[in-house]
Structures are given as C-alpha cells and as structure tokens.
Amino acid sequence: MPAPDAIASLQKMFPGKVGQGKEFRGDHTVEVDREIIRAAASHLKDLGFNFIVDISSNDYFGDEPRYDVVYEFCALGGPENQTHLRLRARVSEDDLSIDSIAPVFQGADWHEREVYDMMGIKFNGHPDLRRILMWDGYPYFPLRKDFPLEGLPSDIPGEAFSNRAPLEGGPFVAAPSNKPPEVGDAPTTTHEPHAHPAEH
C-alpha cells in the first residue's frame, strides 16, 4: 500500500488521533497520539508494513512535550515493495513512557532498549526493558540535550565508573588556534611516528 493511502487508513481507523501526513523528498511522516502507537503499528502490519527498520528519539529541550519517539516502517516483498512510512509520537517529560510495539514487531525489542538507555523513555509492556549500551545502574541518559558533551562522573562500586572527558585536543573537538586559517592554508595534521620492525 502506498504511504499516503496507509496514512489515510490510519486516520479512518483512529479518528482524531492521527495528524496530517507530511511528505519530503519521497519520505512520508505522520504524527500519532502516543496512546495508540501499539494499535497503529498493528494496523500498519495488517496493511503490509511488515518490517520495523528503526526506532529513535529526539529531545526538544525547552519545549513540551519534550521528546518524541520516531518509528520507521517498511513494506517488503509485496506489490509496494520498499514503501517507507515514518510514525512520530510525542512524549511528555512528566510521563516518560509509551507502549512497546515489541509484542507486534519482535524487531522493535533492541531499538526500544536503546531509546530507553539513551533517553530514559520507558516502553510499557516491553519483554526485557534494560540498558543495552550503558551498564545497569548508570544514572544518566547520554543523548538528552542537557547531558554535557564531556560526560558526567559516576561510580558504581564493583560495576563501573566514568569521569568527565577532556575536550580540548580530544577526538571530537579541535584544539583552539591562536590565529584563524587563511585561504589556501593546508590543514595541519600531527602524525604519530611509525614503528617498523626493521628500525629496531
């Protein structure tokens, strides 16, 4: 089923709970109320969207609802092979939860765990909701906008610890320069000396 038809079907099935579809460069997105996300996923599966490609989240720090959860569905193998549809559901900072779609799409399991781990959004009814990248007991959510780039110190005795990472000269932040580069300047690169067995 083409994505615009799938959006129309969702709007008919869940009146007042599905927004207007948006198209950008062939990608179709529609916002749905978070209360219907599992039922909407099940309806899409019935329409032939048989693959959950990804689940991610955005932090709109300063806005309310602060977060959204974004679902990438795809129809594979049918007459509309590789049709893509994106669902978006807003999640309030006051109630950081949304229903899991893992009972509908088994492939959602680890995607939802990653969103929980990085953003702190809980997925109701998930079969095994625990951290997947950070260790159990880690007290922060590293992809939130208020999590500092250099990280935060933590210490869990017998488990793990973390310290703030220095940024200057680090892998993601260039050391400050005393003068701006001029047009035509070659980039400066520091090379480590190479150790070759013949040199020893």
Domain spans of the chain, in order of start: 3-169
Q: How far, in Å, are 71, 170, 173 from residue 10 at the CA level?
A: 15, 48, 45
For the entire predicted model, the pTM comes to 0.80
As a whole number of angstroms, the distance between CA 189 and CA 95 comes to: 48
* pLDDT(174) > 90: no
At residue 143 the predicted structure's pLDDT band, cuts being 50, 70 and 90, is very high
Q: Which residue in 96, 158, 85 sits closest to 121, CA to CA?
A: 96
Q: What is the mean pLDDT of the chain?
A: 85
Nearest-5° angle of CA 128, CA 133, CA 134? Answer: 100
pLDDT at 77: 86
* DSSP states of 93-109: TTS-EEE--TTT-TTHH
Contact present, 148 and 165 (Cβ < 8 Å): no
At residue 168 the predicted structure's pLDDT band, cuts being 50, 70 and 90, is low
Q: Quick one: the chain helix, strand, coil %, rounded to 5? A: 20, 25, 55
At residue 154 the predicted structure's pLDDT band, cuts being 50, 70 and 90, is confident
Structure-token pair, residue 197: 């067995």
Four-CA torsion 31, 34, 36, 37, nearest 10 degrees = 80
Sorted by sequence, the CB contacts under 8 Å of residue 17 that are 6+ apart come out as 32, 33, 35, 36
At residue 183 the predicted structure's pLDDT band, cuts being 50, 70 and 90, is low
The Cβ of residue 48 has, within 10 Å, a number of other Cβ atoms equal to 18
Percent of the chain with pLDDT over 70: 79
At residue 169 the predicted structure's pLDDT band, cuts being 50, 70 and 90, is low
Q: What is the pLDDT of residues 45-83, one digit of tens each?
A: 999 999 999 999 999 999 999 999 999 999 998 776 789
pLDDT at 191: 44
Four-CA torsion 184, 187, 193, 195, nearest 10 degrees = -100
Backbone angles phi, psi at 133, to 5 degrees: -110, -50
At residue 104 the predicted structure's pLDDT band, cuts being 50, 70 and 90, is very high
Structure-token pair, residue 79: 């007459």
Architecture of domain 3-169: 2-Layer Sandwich (3.30)
As a whole number of angstroms, the distance between CA 120 and CA 177 comes to: 38
Burial class (CB in 10 A: 0-12, 13-18, 19+), 59: buried
Percent of the chain with pLDDT over 90: 64
